[in-house]
Chains A and B, each alone.
Chain A
């Protein structure tokens, strides 16, 4: 069955390289477009939601900066084709984190995740024992600690992109100042 809660479009990957490598099309593809076409072929991770929620605070410690860069680019450019560089960084960070986590602490994360699934709201309150064991395992084997404020209210982002001059895309942004009169000029006296 195509699709899941992580990819609700349910897109089944179809091999469309035949069109790209056809005779009349191959010459017209720029290297920039070729890079985009290669980047979007990357698949999804497919990590289930209970494992995601269980490892959220450790993931925030590792990958929050990269995620913020991507979201900033997305909000400013409004075009996902221009943010594929950061898009792949996000996926790389997540992949590395989940690979490390599943090789080091497999039993603990499985126990924690299955405990979370017993609650319809997936609340952490009923699973504190498993949470303690998982956090201790992560800290001792990988040195990854939890982040208390996983989502901050005042966020500062470090990027290599320059700051935009007109982020809200207003018209007449560079309009020059209007000519104002000289308020200190000598005014004539008014006698009634």
Chain B
């Protein structure tokens, strides 16, 4: 067969080179566990910041709330004295205006309540003006 005089489309002498058939996926950037670690690390830093802020907020609110609760007995004591003064003036006014004027001499001051017993009734909200009714609801 070496004596054939025509040209054929043959591969080059020595054969072709190697075909790069193996996969080529290079790692770009951090990659893999490092990327997860970065995300988890930044989240942990954020969680720590939020936790510290939460603890500080709880402490400041507790501090503020306790400072207001400390004075509840003093304000209640003053309120009790005021209520008793109003109760006394109510009974006195019943005595003066109903019995003293002769409208109903048999009326007993302080017995005009519903229960027919000497029960202590604190003053009603209706006896206050509307402005002070609204303020009292908000403040308490």
Interface residues of A (CB under 8 A from B): 3, 5-11, 13-14, 16, 19, 36-37, 39-42, 44-45, 52-53, 56-57, 59-60, 63-64, 67-68, 70-71, 74, 79-81, 83, 87, 90-91, 94, 121-125, 149-151
Contacts and interface: CB of A to CB of B under 8 A. Distances in A.
Interface stretch (B12-20, B32-40, B68-76): B68-76
A126 to B, nearest CB: 10
B114 to A, nearest CB: 18
Given A7-B82, A81-B84, A150 B69 contact: yes
B96 A57 contact: no
Given A6-B78, A16-B88, A91-B77, A80 B132 contact: no
Interface residues of B, number: 37
Interface of B: 60, 63-64, 66-86, 88-89, 92, 95-96, 120, 123, 128-129, 132, 135-136, 139
Contacts of B139: 5, 8
Contacts of A125: 60
A39 B88 CA distance: 13
Nearest to B57: A125
Chain B contact residues: helix, strand, loop or mixed: helix
A131 B110 CA distance: 50
B131 to A, nearest CB: 9
Given A90-B73, A90-B77, A123-B64, A8 B88 contact: no
B86 A11 contact: yes
Nearest to A36: B84
Contacts of B79: 7, 9
A11 B60 contact: no
Given A56-B67, A70-B77, A125-B60, A19 B92 contact: yes
B128 A9 contact: yes
A52 B72 CA distance: 11
25 contacts: A8-B136, A9-B82, A9-B83, A9-B123, A10-B128, A10-B132, A11-B86, A16-B88, A39-B81, A42-B81, A45-B74, A53-B64, A59-B70, A60-B66, A64-B70, A70-B76, A80-B80, A87-B80, A90-B74, A121-B64, A123-B64, A124-B63, A149-B66, A150-B67, A150-B70
Contacts of B123: 9
Given A7-B82, A19-B96, A81 B132 contact: no
A37 B88 CA distance: 9
A56 B74 contact: no
Given A9-B123, A44-B81, A151-B70, 7 more contacts: A7-B82, A9-B132, A16-B92, A57-B70, A59-B71, A67-B74, A124-B64
Top 8 nearest A-B pairs (CB, nearest first) are A56-B67, A67-B73, A80-B80, A150-B66, A40-B84, A87-B77, A90-B77, A44-B78
Nearest to A66: B73
Contacts of B84: 36, 40, 80-81
